[in-house]
A = this chain, B = another copy of it.
Amino acid sequence: MIRFNSDYTEGAHPRILERLMETNLEQTSGYGMDPYCEKARGLIKEKCKNENLDVHFFVGGTQTNLTFISSALRPHQGIVSVDTGHINTHESGAIEATGHKVLAVKGVDGKITAEEVQRVYDEHYNDEVREHTVQPKMVYISNPTEIGTIYSKQELAEISEVSRKNNLILYMDGARLGYGLCAENNDLDLPTIAKLCDAFYIGGTKVGALFGEALVISKEALKEDFRYILKQKGGMLAKGRLLGLQFLTLFEKDLYFEISAHANNMARLIKEACIEKGYPFLTESTTNQQFPILPNKVLEKLKENFEYSFWQKIDEEHCAVRFCTSWATDINDANALVKAIKE
């Protein structure tokens, strides 16, 4: 069986394991106060071209989201997200468990629009209801989205503008950020994201690391006492250097982007095979997740050798499924899938 059902089926990029081996018996301080974390933080700030950022490392994405959101909001404040947003669907109510409502809105191609943000704002901040409703205070977006699409610079700039105008915090979940930044139609980069968002995280778990996410906070007011919340929510890794070492390895020679581009290339092979066969797609994705709509009998056949994720029933004879590639996808495996699709 070859797995295309998720982007975290393997361990880590070999260079990361080597680095762990080399440094294994060194003695360092714990909790992220070691020289490797320090260097990794510096490198990320450099890549973002902004010295005035706070960088914190986490083990996983749900942890990052719940910690950041609960640190940033007062009890009556909520987060606007598209209804397909990860925090709204697949985090077991992690955000609500910290006390905050997710205000779900319909998106377009998995993305929120500036207009929608303004509409939600207006709906809640009017005198008829005001304090009887949750106060929208943060806008949560994922890039790429849960369905593989990406925000353009123009779209992000508009969302950023409407957020700042209304004093809303803009937060980007970048669990697959590498795959987004290396998409063929992408025009965003780290410095732009750091400028337009108040906080975002760079996903490592799905992009080459054993585990790890780097939260970058640019808005000054959100930095205060963050390490307290990190500890309180169980996110402060004792041997924090493990996170520093991984991000150092991923960003030192732009390995992060190199392996992201590879994953996207592998995904394109699968996409092109589907196009060639005339299969439609649920979404127009240019990243490592592809959502073709396939006949059930084709899916039955593929199932013999490949794992994929069921996504959505379309009609009695067709389903949308998800194929994920990653930094680790072997070209031979991708070609095997391509061949199987084309048959």
Q: Which of A64, A78, A235, A309 lies at the interface centre, i.e. has the most chain B CB atoms within 10 A of its CB? A: A235
Closest to A66 in B: B234
Interface residues of A (CB under 8 A from B): 1-3, 6, 8-12, 14, 17, 20-21, 23-30, 59-64, 66-67, 70-71, 74-76, 78, 89-94, 96-102, 104, 128-129, 131-135, 205-206, 210-211, 225, 227-239, 242, 309-310, 328
| A234–B235 CB distance below 8 A | yes
| A231–B24 CB distance below 8 A | no
Tell me, rounded to whole Å, the shortest Cβ–Cβ distance linking A201 to chain B. Answer: 13
List of B residues within 8 angstroms of A235 by Cβ: 63, 234
List of B residues within 8 angstroms of A6 by Cβ: 30
| A211–B242 CB distance below 8 A | yes
Residue from the list B10, B90, B99, B232 in contact with A24, Cβ < 8 A:
B10
List of B residues within 8 angstroms of A60 by Cβ: 234, 236-238
19 A–B pairs (Cβ distance < 8 Å), ordered by A = A11-B23, A11-B239, A12-B24, A17-B17, A25-B328, A66-B233, A66-B234, A75-B97, A76-B228, A89-B133, A90-B132, A90-B133, A92-B133, A94-B233, A96-B101, A101-B102, A131-B225, A205-B239, A210-B239
Tell me, rounded to whole Å, the shortest Cβ–Cβ distance linking A261 to chain B. Answer: 20
